[in-house]
Amino acid sequence: MSAHQQTAASPFIRACRNEPVQHTPVWFMRQAGRSLPEYLKLREGVPMLESCMRPELITEITLQPVRRHGVDAAVYFSDIVVPLKAIGLDVEIKPGVGPVVADPIRNRQDLARLRDLDPSDVGYVTEAVGLLTAELGSTPLIGFAGAPFTLASYLVEGGPSRNHERTKALMYGDPELWRDLLDRLADITTAFLKVQIEAGASAVQVFDSWVGALSPADYRRYVMPASAKVFDAVAGYGVPRIHFGVGTGELLGLMSEAGADVMGVDWRVPLDEAARRVGPGKALQGNLDPAVLFAPTAAVEAKTREVLDAAAAAGTGHIFNLGHGVLPTTDPDALSRLVDFVHSSTEAV
Ligand SMILES: Cc1c2[nH]c(c1CCC(=O)O)Cc1[nH]c(c(CCC(=O)O)c1C)Cc1[nH]c(c(CCC(=O)O)c1C)Cc1[nH]c(c(C)c1CCC(=O)O)C2
């Protein structure tokens, strides 16, 4: 049986397809490699991007939160900049900072450095996904990649940015170069997703984490064609495609239109309202504020109940998640309790 067939009846895949489930499935963005002491121990002395190239390490880190919290899906341990590193760009992840690009992409000549990603550039991904799906059995593995806009922001800025000023300067100042840059990135992202799906990932998530910096009109004009290209290119596999960004309440309809099967929602928009913006037929993922996990258990449960009630009112398939990634200092036990609470609160009778 293929990995895709093995996971087809899981609550996560069923919820992605708007099918009835025995309990609401749960996973957490950034569940792999964050607060877990067993993760920090494994990573000692290994730079982040190097750890993303070692299949045994990837496998172990990906499995840790599944074992500890009993989440309904694993998320492949990697980073959105791994494919950029794999095509030869000088990028590293600085602890506590994020991705840093030594030589930013700012003109037409720079674009030539963005060559296509060949599956052989990331043989370690194929190997790790194979090891993982063998271990995971009926638990789905989620593959992921960065969306063209979010990758472009790191490449143009040279690192993390609050206002994305250089990115926007390029986008508005040289729309043709911008379009070509996003188109190149769409192909790289597509190739990276295909490697994961072909090796056995049961679903994929495309992170456009920072696209909430744009207005709907600019999103439609400058970003949507490249994101749609990615979603179209992997549609034929039939695996659920999840799309997520932070602060994207005003963009939910357009991001959904770009081609997702499941829309990820941050904590600023209740899920029943999100369902209205996203339109019919799509499942929703989210959306407990990750900072809520620092409150006492009773408060976490009350806020979680609000999310579950809004999801029920939305009437769509629902994958419970946080509204953004697990914060680094989150108590792992609070995450385990949350998984149990969502499962017991939603068990079908
Ligand atoms: C924007 C973005 C990045 N990376 C990612 C995104 C999109 C998700 C989001 O919006 O949070 C995605 C990502 N990065 C990582 C994963 C692994 C799987 C998971 O647990 O979700 C995933 C899905 C590992 C990581 N990626 C990173 C770490 C920490 C690196 C370390 O331990 O030194 C891990 C485990 C580093 C990273 N990588 C990135 C940042 C901003 C940072 C630094 C700040 C931070 O820690 O959040 C870029």
Burial class (CB in 10 A: 0-12, 13-18, 19+), 173: exposed
Residue nearest to atom 34 of ligand 1 (CA): 33
Mean pLDDT of all residues in 27-47: 93
Q: Is 106 in the active site?
A: no
CB neighbour list of residue 341: distance below 8 Å, 6 or more residues apart: 300, 301, 304
> How much is the pLDDT for 104?
98
ipTM comes to 0.92
191-207 pLDDT tens trace? 999 999 999 999 999 99
Beta bridge partners of 144: 205
Whole-number pLDDT of residue 125:
98
- How confident is the model over 96-121, as a mean pLDDT? 97
Q: Which of 39, 76, 154, 219 is catalytic?
A: 154
The boundaries of the domain holding residue 105 are 3-346
Binding annotation for substrate: 30-34, 79, 154, 209, 324
Q: Look up tokens 């069923």; give the residue.
A: 14
CATH number at residue 193: 3.20.20.210
Ligand 1 proximity of 95 Cβ (cutoff 6 Å): yes
Which ligand 1 atom is the nearest neighbour of the CA of 34? 35
Cis peptide before 287 (omega within 30 of 0): yes
Whole-prediction pTM: 0.97
Which atom of ligand 1 is nearest to 94's Cα? 33
Selected residue with higher pLDDT from 180 and 33: 180
Averaged pLDDT, 135-139:
98
What does pLDDT average to over the chain?
A: 97
Distance 315 CA to ligand 1 centre (A): 31
DSSP H or E segment with residue 331: none
pLDDT band at 51 (very low <50, low <70, confident <90, very high): very high
pLDDT of 48 higher than 70: yes
Q: What single-letter DSSP state applies at residue 144?
A: E
Number of folded domains that form the chain:
1
How confident is residue 262, by pLDDT bands cut at 50, 70 and 90? very high
Please name the residue that has the structure tokens 């070692």: 54
Q: Which residues are annotated as a binding site?
A: 30-34, 79, 154, 209, 324
Cα 77 to averaged position of ligand 1 atoms, centre (Å): 9
Pocket probe mutation, ligand 1, options 79, 129, 144, 164, max atoms within 8 Å of Cβ? 79
Residue 349: which pLDDT band, with cuts at 50, 70 and 90?
low
pLDDT digits (tens, 9 = 90+) for 218-242: 999 999 999 999 999 999 999 999 9
- Concatenate the DSSP letters of all residues of 27-86 into one string: --TT-SSSS-HHHHHHHTT--HHHHTT-HHHHHHHHHHHHHHH--S-EE-S--TTHHHHH
pLDDT for residue 72 is more than 90: yes
Is residue 154 part of the annotated active site? The answer reads yes
Strand 262-264 relative to strand 74-75, pairing = unpaired
Question: What's the CA gap between 12 and 270, in Å, rounded?
Answer: 20
Which atom of ligand 1 is nearest to 325's Cα? 11
Q: What pLDDT does residue 34 have?
A: 84
User: At residue 14, does pLDDT exceed 70?
Assistant: yes
Residue 348: pLDDT above 90?
no
